[in-house]
């Protein structure tokens, strides 16, 4: 069994504005960098065996800041990216709800399998994340591994390890730059 420390990237301006980021490569803001430094201090004495991160800059920068505190290299993995929100990326939630009324209502009923136009479903994200974790756990079967990723991507892991239906992933999105510890075995 591998012990994972899941960390959502630090804050971005789009987080503050209520914009869907998805796979848009949005940088950390100053507060996000401060959050990353704070969690680096919190985790500096952990005996991590590896650090993996999404290749999007908000997660990668968070991971690099933590890595400097624990003296480990960072391995980027694009499979750890956030959900692809397609046409919704960069838009405010209120605008999405108003412009895509029917689709938003469908997503409220079936959040696991409804996709934004041109995007991914939560189920597809969960599959991609699970594949990445299985590979990581295979390499570090008894290790302590830091995973820096994104809200919904990490929520799919939380659902899996807690036995929560994947359709409830939006309800378990972790806060920015807060560690969450889980045990994960290949399945």
**So where are the chain's domains?**
2-184
pLDDT, average across residues 153-181 = 97
Q: Is 94 helix (H, G, I), strand (E, B) or coil?
A: helix
Q: Is 120 helix (H, G, I), strand (E, B) or coil?
A: coil
Band the pLDDT of 26: cuts 50, 70, 90.
very high
d(CA 109, CA 124): 17
pLDDT at 187 over 70: no
pLDDT, average across residues 58-87 = 98
Nearest to 57 by CA among 91, 88, 32: 32
C-alpha dist (Å) from residue 43 to 51, 56, 106, 142, 164? 12, 22, 40, 19, 27
pLDDT digits (tens, 9 = 90+) for 142-151: 999 999 999 9
Residue 143 neighbours by CB distance under 10 Å: 16
d(CA 126, CA 31): 29
The arrangement of secondary structure in 2-184, i.e. its CATH architecture, is: 3-Layer(aba) Sandwich (3.40)
pLDDT at 11 over 70: yes
How far the first Cα of the chain sits from its last, in Å, is: 11
pLDDT digits (tens, 9 = 90+) for 33-66: 999 999 999 999 999 999 999 999 999 999 999 9
| Active-site amino acid positions | 9, 82
Backbone angles phi, psi at 82, to 5 degrees: -70, 170
């Amino acid at each position: 069994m591998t012990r994972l420390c899941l960390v959502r990237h630090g804050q971005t301006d789009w987080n503050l504005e209520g914009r869907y980021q998805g796979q848009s490569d949005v940088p950390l803001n100053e507060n996000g960098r401060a959050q990353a430094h704070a969690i680096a201090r919190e985790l500096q004495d952990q005996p991590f065996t590896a650090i993996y991160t999404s290749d999007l800059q908000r997660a990668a920068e968070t991971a690099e800041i933590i890595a400097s505190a624990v003296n480990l290299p960072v391995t980027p993995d694009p499979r750890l990216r956030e959900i692809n929100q397609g046409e919704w990326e960069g838009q405010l939630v209120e605008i999405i709800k108003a412009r895509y009324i029917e689709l938003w209502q469908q997503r409220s009923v079936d959040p696991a399998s409804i996709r934004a136009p041109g995007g991914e479903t939560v189920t597809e994200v969960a599959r991609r994340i699970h594949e990445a974790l299985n590979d990581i756990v295979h390499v570090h079967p008894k290790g302590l591994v830091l995973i820096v990723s994104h809200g919904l991507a990490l929520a799919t892991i939380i659902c899996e390890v807690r036995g929560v239906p994947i359709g409830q992933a939006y309800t378990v999105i972790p806060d920015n730059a807060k560690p969450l510890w889980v045990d994960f075995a290949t399945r």
